[in-house]
C-alpha cells in the first residue's frame, strides 16, 4: 500500500532518529503526536523497510522511476525516434531483472499494466495470509487436543479455500510465467456456470478442465463436511459419556442429584444439540462467504497502492515540475517548499497512517478470524464447596 523507496527512506530516517534517542526521549514529556510516534518507533522502522522493498518493486522514488538494476527491456522502434511513448516501444533484451521496468512510466498502457499487476499481487498476498491463518488453526486445535476441529474444520476449510482461490493464485502464476493472454475472469466465472465447457484460448495447461471439475466437486463436498459431522459426533460422544450416569441415584431416595453442583444431570443438561448445530452452521456459512469477501477485501492493497502512487505523481508533476518550469528563483523555492510540506504531511503522515490502519484491519479481520476465538473462559465464582469437591 505504501510502495515508494524515497518515502520509505524518509520514514526510515525518522524511525532511526526515535530509536537512537530512545533513552533521552523516554525520560521527557512529549506531546501527543510525538508520543504516539515514539511508542510505535519499531513499527515505523518495519513499515519503512517494507515500503523501501515495495518501492523497489514498483520502481518509484518520489514517483520517479530509475534504472537501478540495469537497462530497460524496451527501446524505441526506430533509432531516429524522439518520443518513445508516442511512436511505440519494442522489446530488445531480456526482462528488467527486478521490479517494474522504467519504460512503463508515462506510457499509454502504464495504468492498465500497474492495475493488473497490483491486483494480482494483492490476491496472492491475501490467499497466502489466509492459508497461514488456517494453518495456525491446526496448531491451535492440536494444542487443545481437539481432533474434531482438525478433521471437520481445518481440513475442509483448507480444501474449500484452495479449491477456489488457491486455484486462482495458481492461474495467476502460470499466466505470469507463460505470458498467456487468457482471461482469468472468464475462467473463474465459467468454472461455475459451465464446468464441462470448452476453455478455448483461455486454457493455460493440459488437463485444466478436468482439474477445474475436480476442484469444484471438492469445494462442494467441503461445505457439508464443515457443517454436519461435528455436531452429530459431539452429540454421540455426549450420550456415550453420560449414558447410565443420570440413573445412578435412582436406587436411593435420600440423595438429590440437583443438590450436587457437579452432578451428572447438570452436566448432561448443559449440552444443547440445537445450539451446537446452529453455532456450527453460522461458523460454516461465515467461512464460505468470508472466503469470497475476505479475498476481495485484500484488494484494498491494490487500491491504496494506486492512490499513493497517483498522489505522489500529482505532487511531483503539478507542484515541483510546474514550479521548476519558471525562471524565477522565488517561484522555484516556493514550489519546492509546498512540495516538501505536501510530501511530509499528506504522503508520509496521512498516507502512512492510512496504510497502517488498513494493514491492521486485514490482520485482525481477514487473517485472525481463521484461528482466533475470543470466547474466553466461563466465569466460575469462588466457592469452598466446589473447592472441596475438586480435592476429593
- What CA–CA distance (Å, rounded) separates 175 from 119? 14
Burial of 48 (0-12, 13-18, 19+ CB in 10 A): buried
pLDDT of amino acid 363? 93
Burial of 178 (0-12, 13-18, 19+ CB in 10 A): exposed
What DSSP character marks residue 64?
B
229 in helix, strand or coil? helix
Q: Which of 91-100, 124-133, 256-265 has the highest mean pLDDT?
A: 124-133
Q: Taking a C-beta distance cutoff of 8 angstroms, is the pair 148, 233 a contact? A: yes
Burial of 268 (0-12, 13-18, 19+ CB in 10 A): middle
pLDDT of amino acid 251? 41
Task: Tell me the pLDDT band of 127, cut-offs 50, 70 and 90.
Answer: very high
Distances (CA, A) of 363 to 164, 236, 370: 21, 37, 10
Q: Which three cell numbers stand for residue 57?
A: 518493486
- What CA–CA distance (Å, rounded) separates 168 from 130? 14
pLDDT of amino acid 42? 93
* Predicted TM-score of the model (pTM): 0.80
CA 51 to chain centre: 16
Task: Tell me the pLDDT band of 327, cut-offs 50, 70 and 90.
Answer: confident
Q: Which residues contact 103 (CB under 8 A, 6 or more apart)?
A: 72, 73, 74, 84, 89
Over residues 162-173, the pLDDT tens digits come to 999 999 999 999
Q: Which of 15-29, 121-135, 301-315 has the highest mean pLDDT?
A: 121-135
- What CA–CA distance (Å, rounded) separates 232 from 239? 11
Please tell me the number of Cα atoms within 13 Å of 298 on its side-chain side: 22
**Best CA proximity match to 152, nearest among 284, 276, 241, 294:** 284
Segment 368-380 shows an average pLDDT of: 83
Q: Which residues contact 353 (CB under 8 A, 6 or more apart)?
A: none
Over residues 203-226, the pLDDT tens digits come to 888 888 899 999 999 999 999 999
Q: Taking a C-beta distance cutoff of 8 angstroms, is the pair 39, 343 a contact? A: no
Helix (H) or strand (E) holding 155: helix 155-161
- What CA–CA distance (Å, rounded) separates 57 from 43? 21
Please tell me the number of Cα atoms within 13 Å of 326 on its side-chain side: 14
pLDDT of amino acid 136? 95
- What CA–CA distance (Å, rounded) separates 134 from 155? 9
- What CA–CA distance (Å, rounded) separates 282 from 277? 9
- What CA–CA distance (Å, rounded) separates 289 from 299? 16
pLDDT of amino acid 349? 86
Task: Render 247-266 in DSSP notation, one character per residue.
Answer: GTTTT-SS--GGGSTT-HHH
What DSSP character marks residue 96?
P
Distances (CA, A) of 331 to 254, 263, 321: 100, 86, 11
Whether the per-residue pLDDT at 325 is higher than 50: the answer is yes
Dihedral angle computed from the Cα positions of residues 224, 230, 235 and 236, in that order, rounded to the nearest 10 degrees: 100
Amino acid at each position: 500500500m505504501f510502495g515508494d523507496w524515497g518515502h520509505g527512506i524518509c520514514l526510515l530516517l525518522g524511525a532511526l532518529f526515535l530509536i537512537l534517542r530512545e533513552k533521552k526521549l523516554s525520560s521527557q514529556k512529549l506531546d501527543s503526536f510525538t508520543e504516539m510516534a515514539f511508542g510505535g518507533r519499531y513499527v515505523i522502522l518495519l513499515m519503512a523497510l517494507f515500503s523501501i522493498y515495495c518501492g523497489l518493486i514498483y520502481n518509484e522514488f518520489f514517483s520517479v522511476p530509475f534504472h537501478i538494476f540495469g537497462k530497460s527491456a524496451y527501446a524505441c522502434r526506430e533509432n531516429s525516434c524522439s518520443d518513445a511513448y508516442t511512436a511505440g516501444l519494442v522489446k530488445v533484451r531480456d526482462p528488467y531483472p527486478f521490479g517494474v521496468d522504467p519504460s512503463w512510466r508515462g506510457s499509454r498502457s502504464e495504468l492498465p499494466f500497474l492495475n493488473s499487476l497490483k491486483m494480482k499481487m494483492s490476491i496472492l498476498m491475501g490467499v497466502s495470509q489466509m492459508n497461514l491463518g488456517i494453518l495456525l488453526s491446526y496448531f491451535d486445535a492440536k494444542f487443545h487436543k481437539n481432533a474434531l476441529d482438525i478433521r471437520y474444520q481445518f481440513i475442509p476449510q483448507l480444501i474449500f479455500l484452495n479449491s477456489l482461490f488457491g486455484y486462482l493464485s495458481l492461474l495467476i502464476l502460470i499466466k505470469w510465467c507463460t505470458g498467456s493472454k487468457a482471461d482469468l475472469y472468464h475462467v473463474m466465472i465459467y468454472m461455475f456456470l459451465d464446468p464441462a465447457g470448452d476453455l478455448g484460448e483461455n486454457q493455460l495447461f493440459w488437463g485444466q478442465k478436468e482439474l477445474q471439475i475436480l476442484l469444484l466437486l471438492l469445494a462442494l463436498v467441503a461445505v457439508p463436511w464443515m457443517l454436519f459431522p461435528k455436531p452429530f459426533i459431539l452429540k454421540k460422544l455426549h450420550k456415550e459419556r453420560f449414558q447410565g450416569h443420570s440413573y445412578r441415584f435412582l436406587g436411593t431416595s435420600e440423595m438429590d442429584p440437583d443438590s450436587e453442583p457437579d452432578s451428572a444431570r447438570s452436566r448432561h443438561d448443559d449440552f444443547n444439540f440445537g445450539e451446537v448445530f446452529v453455532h456450527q452452521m453460522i461458523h460454516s456459512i461465515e467461512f464460505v462467504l468470508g472466503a469470497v469477501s475476505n479475498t476481495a477485501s485484500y484488494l484494498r492493497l491494490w487500491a491504496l497502492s494506486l492512490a499513493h502512487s497517483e498522489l505522489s505523481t500529482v505532487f511531483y508533476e503539478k507542484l515541483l515540475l510546474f514550479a521548476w518550469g519558471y525562471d524565477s528563483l522565488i517561484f522555484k523555492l516556493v514550489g519546492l517548499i509546498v512540495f516538501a510540506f505536501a510530501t511530509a504531511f499528506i504522503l508520509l503522515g496521512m498516507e502512512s497512517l492510512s496504510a497502517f490502519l488498513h494493514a491492521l484491519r486485514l490482520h485482525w479481520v481477514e487473517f485472525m478470524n481463521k484461528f482466533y476465538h475470543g470466547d474466553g473462559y466461563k466465569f466460575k465464582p469462588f466457592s469452598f464447596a466446589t473447592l472441596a469437591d475438586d480435592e476429593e
